[in-house]
């Protein structure tokens, strides 16, 4: 950056004098350097003499409405360009846009035996071939919380399939839309029974961009019903761009005006559930229009504005986002589970995948694949200590690690195996300690105490400590366990004996991972490091693959 600035300032002028710019940066807020590239570009342009047209915008991959965030920023940019540059923008057409792809019924084509006959991506070799696996077991491991969520222990039978996995990999599951939702879409869009059961294709047009998007449209030739069941994300929050197209199909002038106003301003409803309230325009962010008018899904909009259901089914299929596979950390290892793969999944009542996993029964099949990761135990630990921090379902890969260590200890009984430590956290011991059965097998001594050397019988987990946040008046988290065992952690983290300690962190990225990292920094500072030195120490551990994270 400095070389660019210096190189352009030789004649007394800055390199970007007279340049007007606007920056919108995309990133993931769970990463340490969120949108850093965009911030650096903005700084470079500003220091180089450029003039910012509008404040920088930031899109977060963790926000399902980031497309709307960009559109709002883009609208502000257009207004600023009109004002500062004298460029006039014409209003868009009120007519629906033309479809970019060609949708057709193909009764002459054979229906594919599987909705996902091809790999999900040819560009990502870590994704294995998707297949239909039988559900061998599905057991609730916790009671339902007040919000209706609970932990499900899912076991899939993979016998007969040529695939491999190990603890730390991910199980990717393709969910399906609820049957009642699918049927209501069919009814609202007035799809006949004959068309519903006919195979369909979404063909490329002459547009190169459309041709690229086709690769993610219809993975197989299937009946239109299957397209709605397995491909279209019917339950997610709709993008504003989709709603804008839908509003242009409104044949009722009053509905069209109201829909358009809703997209621009948001609404406030007066009335009770079950009534037909009159929306009142408000000056509010478009982010609130979903909750403010009780329209969370596209189905809600179709109910409120029935005249927009005149959209051709082909254009509807083209415009709708696709169902994406859901990734879950695997809680088993092929060394101990050669014919099954297991996962701990938090079931959330309004989640698409959660609803699907609640519906599916033992013996039924679901479509899934194994996605390889780098969150693994090394092939040879060489007696190195292993520290695992996994609150909530973040403990899943740690359970898999323990299975793998168990198998290795049986296979090599004379080998040296390093100390294994696990910090687990949940809301309540009585209702949320869903790995109790596994922990009672692997930790045979007092909880919270480090097993003394040469203890008989020897535990697989030498130190197990638990934090249940709501079992006492003050909240107690895994970060408190880090503080509690800070002397031991300093000794483990800073020792270079046998290659140094291996640190694994798994779970929620938004708050937990950051809190744990802050707690680790404080522990290292207690050992005499400055904050910058402690931060660099953890960064070096990551670089050397001694500190690995699987956060989501």
Q: 484 and 462, same structural domain?
A: yes
Residues 386 and 437 placed together within one structural domain of the fold? yes
Half-sphere exposure for 321 (CA within 13 Å, toward CB): 19
Which of 342, 373, 404 is at the close of a domain? 373
Domain that holds residue 312: 177-322
Within-domain flag for 95: no
Say how many domains are in the chain. 4
pTM of the model: 0.83
Tell me: do 310 and 379 sit in the same domain. Answer: no
**Pair (142, 81) in one structural domain:** no
- The tens digit of pLDDT for each residue in 475-489 reads 999 999 999 999 999
Q: Which residues fall within 8 angstroms of residue 79, CB to CB, at 6 or more apart?
A: none
* 409/540 same-domain check: yes
- Final residue in a domain of this structure, among 322, 354, 386: 322
Residue 98 falls inside a structural domain: no
Could you please report the per-residue DSSP string of 192-232?
-HHHHTSEEEEE--S-HHHHHHHTTT-SS-EEHHHIIIIIB
Q: Report yes or no: 442 and 406 within 8 Å, Cβ to Cβ.
A: yes
Q: What is the DSSP string of 57-126?
A: EEEETT-TTHHHHHHHHHHHHHHHHHHHH----PPPPSSPPPPSSEEEE-TTSPPPSSS--S-S-TT-TT
pLDDT at 211: 46
Pairing mode, strands 278-281 and 267-270: antiparallel
User: Does any domain span residue 100?
Assistant: no
CATH code assigned at 71: 3.40.50.360
Does one domain contain both 239 and 164? Answer: no
In a domain, 101, yes or no: no
Cα distances (Å, whole numbers) of residue 147 to 143, 144, 347, 552: 11, 8, 10, 21
Same domain, 462 and 536: yes
Asked if residue 476 belongs to a domain, the reply is: yes
Classify 331 as helix, strand or coil: coil
How many Cβ atoms from other residues are within 10 Å of residue 546's Cβ?
A: 18
- How far does CA 359 lie from the centroid of its chain? 22
The CATH number of the domain holding residue 257 is 1.20.990.10
Whether residues 52 and 139 share a domain: the answer is: no
Q: Which residues of the chain have pLDDT under 50?
A: 120-126, 206, 208, 210-216, 266-291
Please check whether residues 304 and 393 belong to one and the same domain: no
Q: Tokens for 174?
A: 């393709």
The answer to whether position 130 is within a domain reads yes
Q: Are residues 340 and 425 in the same domain?
A: no
Locate tokens 């899939």: which residue? 156
Q: What is the pLDDT of residues 17-48, one digit of tens each?
A: 888 899 999 888 777 778 888 888 898 898 88
Q: Are residues 334 and 300 in the same domain?
A: no
Measured CA to CA, the distance from residue 310 to residue 234 in angstroms comes to 17
In a domain, 108, yes or no: no
Same domain, 521 and 414: yes
User: How far is CA 41 from each of CA 5, 28, 56, 80, rounded to the nearest angstrom?
Assistant: 12, 17, 10, 20
CA distance 171 to 177: 19
Q: Is residue 109 part of a domain?
A: no
For residue 356, the domain's CATH number is 2.40.30.10
């Amino acid at each position: 950056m400095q070389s660019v600035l210096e190189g352009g300032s030789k004649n007394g002028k800055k390199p970007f004098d007279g340049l007007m710019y606007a920056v919108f940066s995309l990133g993931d807020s769970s990463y340490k350097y969120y949108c850093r590239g965009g911030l650096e570009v903005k700084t470079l342009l500003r220091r180089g003499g450029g003039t910012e047209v509008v404040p920088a915008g930031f899109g977060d991959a963790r926000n399902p409405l980031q497309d709307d965030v960009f559109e709002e920023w883009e609208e502000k940019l257009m207004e600023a360009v009109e004002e500062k540059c004298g460029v006039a923008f014409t209003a868009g057409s009120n007519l629906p846009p033309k479809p970019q792809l060609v949708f057709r019924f193909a009764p002459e084509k054979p229906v594919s035996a599987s909705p996902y006959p091809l790999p999900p991506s040819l560009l990502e070799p870590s994704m294995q071939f998707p297949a239909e696996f039988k559900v061998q077991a599905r057991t609730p491991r916790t009671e339902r919380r007040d919000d209706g969520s609970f932990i499900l222990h899912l076991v899939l039978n993979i016998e007969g399939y040529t695939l491999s996995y190990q603890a730390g990999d991910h199980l990717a599951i393709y969910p399906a839309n609820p049957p009642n939702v699918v049927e209501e879409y069919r009814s609202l869009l007035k799809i006949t029974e004959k068309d519903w059961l006919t195979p369909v294709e979404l063909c490329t047009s002459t547009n190169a961009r459309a041709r690229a998007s086709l690769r993610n449209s219809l993975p197989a030739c299937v009946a239109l019903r299957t397209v709605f069941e397995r491909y279209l994300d019917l339950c997610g929050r709709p993008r504003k761009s989709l709603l804008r197209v839908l509003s242009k199909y409104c044949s009722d002038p009053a509905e069209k005006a109201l829909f358009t106003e809703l997209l621009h301003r948001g609404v406030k409803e007066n009335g009770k559930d079950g009534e037909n309230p009159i929306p009142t325009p408000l000056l509010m962010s478009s982010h609130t229009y979903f909750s403010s008018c009780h329209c969370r899904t596209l189905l809600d909009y179709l109910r409120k504005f029935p005249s927009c259901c005149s959209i051709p089914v082909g254009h509807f299929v083209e415009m709708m986002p696709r169902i994406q596979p859901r990734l879950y950390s695997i809680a088993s290892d092929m060394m101990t589970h050669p014919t099954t793969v297991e996962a701990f999944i938090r079931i959330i009542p309004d989640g698409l995948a959660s609803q699907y996993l609640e519906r599916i029964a033992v013996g039924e099949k679901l479509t899934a694949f194994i996605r390889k990761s780098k969150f693994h135990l090394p092939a040879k630990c060489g007696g190195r200590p292993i520290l695992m921090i996994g609150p909530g379902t973040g403990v899943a890969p740690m359970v898999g690690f323990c299975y793998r260590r168990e198998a290795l200890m049986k296979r090599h009984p004379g080998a040296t195996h390093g100390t294994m430590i696990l910090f687990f956290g949940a809301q309540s011991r009585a209702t949320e300690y869903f790995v109790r059965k596994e922990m009672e097998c692997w930790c045979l001594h007092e909880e919270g105490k480090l097993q003394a050397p040469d203890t008989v019988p020897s535990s697989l987990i030498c130190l197990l400590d638990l934090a249940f946040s709501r079992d006492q008046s003050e909240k107690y988290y895994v970060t408190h366990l880090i503080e509690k065992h800070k002397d031991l952690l300093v000794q483990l983290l800073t020792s270079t004996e046998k290659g140094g300690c291996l640190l694994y962190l798994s779970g929620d990225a938004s708050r937990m991972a950051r809190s744990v990292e802050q707690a680790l920094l404080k522990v290292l500072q207690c050992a005499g490091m400055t904050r910058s030195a402690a931060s660099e120490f953890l960064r070096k551990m990551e670089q050397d693959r001694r500190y690995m994270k699987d956060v989501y």
